[in-house]
Amino acid sequence: REDLWVREGKILNPEKLFFDEKGSADIQLDCKDSIIAPGFIDVQINGGFGVDFSLATDDFKSGIDLVSQKILSHGVTSFCPTLVTSPPSVYHQVLPQISIRNGGAHGAGILGAHLEGPFISKEKKGAHPEHCLRTFEEGAFQDLLATYGSLDCVRIVTLAPEMKRSSEVIRELTKRGICVSLGHSVANLSQAEEAVQHGATFITHLFNAMLPFHHRDPGIVGLLTSDKIPAGRRVFYGMISDGIHTNPAALRIAHRAHPKGLVLVTDAIAGMGLAPGRHTLGQQVVEIDGLNTYIAGTKTLSGSVATMDTCVRHFQEATGCSVETALEAASLHPAQLLGIEHKKGTLNYDSDADFLMLNDGLYVQATYIAGEEVWRQDALGM
């Protein structure tokens, strides 16, 4: 029941305006009982609307522009384009074409790339092509640099912490401000804890592509309640809350064990927003059947076709959590994970005016970036 004041792209503390400048609003907007929430941040999205970020094409830029434009209608105001395990040539061609940029009418902001693989476990490769997987050799960090070509625009790297020499890689990446995520891994709990002690802060799609929880060695899942996490550090974990990748009971277990670390991700692939049928995910062909996406000819799940607003609604329904909690899992928590919570993920004074108007069912009515309306559900409900 409050007002939200915006000036020059930031959320304003109105006290200064009233008392020092004796000013008032130039434009007033009746939000008609909408919920105003921070814009959603998707830190794992492989593509959508026919665009696959792991395919090296000459018009890669127009593909990323299309996705950033289309996800505005799902409430996503910034994202990390994600590349699955690929040959080095793909990284060398694609990464220079990804630039970190602010969002606006042209589309959601790009926070930097998420590189998921190729330094992951063969046993838990999921939809990643086995012939492209790599291990760390002597001079492990140089090896990683040679594979990716450059880390200029990279924000997150997913790797398997049980790999030899992974700790030096985790330390080096962390030193450069890159978030290390554990995933596609058969690590036991102590290997996972050691990775966190070296600086890892995230878990890639919890429960998927890792050892299942076992009471004697809970594996990576055990990080949610580990007492070996360095003081003052929080481990975050991504969850694909699409009703397919994780049973609602597993979603509830994770949420109750460690609510402050839960980050909703779509893990969306090129087929998101398209009709069922065959699409790509990097080097693989995938088949979409309803909300299920499989590597063609198998029952191996390969990413999702869920949109972020769907994930938020499903999460809220599955856990019975408050609306605020559901919204924070898609906004505040990913911002904290990336260390940008002073700018994004909240409606605090001085933060970027990236926000959504939602109805009570948590359907997006309008999306704003830097205080400008960039998408609105039109009168026809399109």
β partners of residue 37: 356
301 annotated binding-site participant: yes
26 catalytic per annotation = no
Please list, residue by residue across 9-34, b when 16 or more beta carbons sit within 10 angstroms of its beta carbon and e when fewer do: ebbbebeeeeeeeeeeeeeeeeeeee
Task: Identify the CA nearest to 296 among candidates 305, 304, 286, 284.
Answer: 286
Distance CA 194, CA 265 (A): 25
373 annotated binding-site participant: no
127 annotated binding-site participant: yes
CB 24 within 8 A of CB 296: no
User: Cα 281 to the chain's mean position, in Å?
Assistant: 17
74 annotated binding-site participant: no
Out of 52, 242, 267, 309, pick the active-site residue. Answer: 267
Distance CA 96, CA 93 (A): 6
192 annotated binding-site participant: no
329 annotated binding-site participant: no
CB 103 within 8 A of CB 67: no
Distance CA 335, CA 23 (A): 32
116 annotated binding-site participant: yes
Distance CA 145, CA 243 (A): 37
Distance CA 81, CA 267 (A): 10
106 annotated binding-site participant: no
245 annotated binding-site participant: yes
Task: Identify the CA nearest to 115 among candidates 54, 47, 199.
Answer: 54
Strands (E), the chain: 6-7, 10-11, 35-38, 40-45, 47-48, 51-52, 76-84, 109-110, 113-116, 154-159, 179-182, 202-203, 236-239, 262-264, 277-281, 284-289, 292-295, 355-358, 364-369, 372-376
- Catalytic machinery residues: 267
| Feature table: binding site for substrate | 127, 208-209, 216, 245, 301-303
Per the annotation, where are the binding residues? 116, 127, 184, 205, 208-209, 216, 245, 301-303
Binding residues for Zn(2+): 116, 184, 205
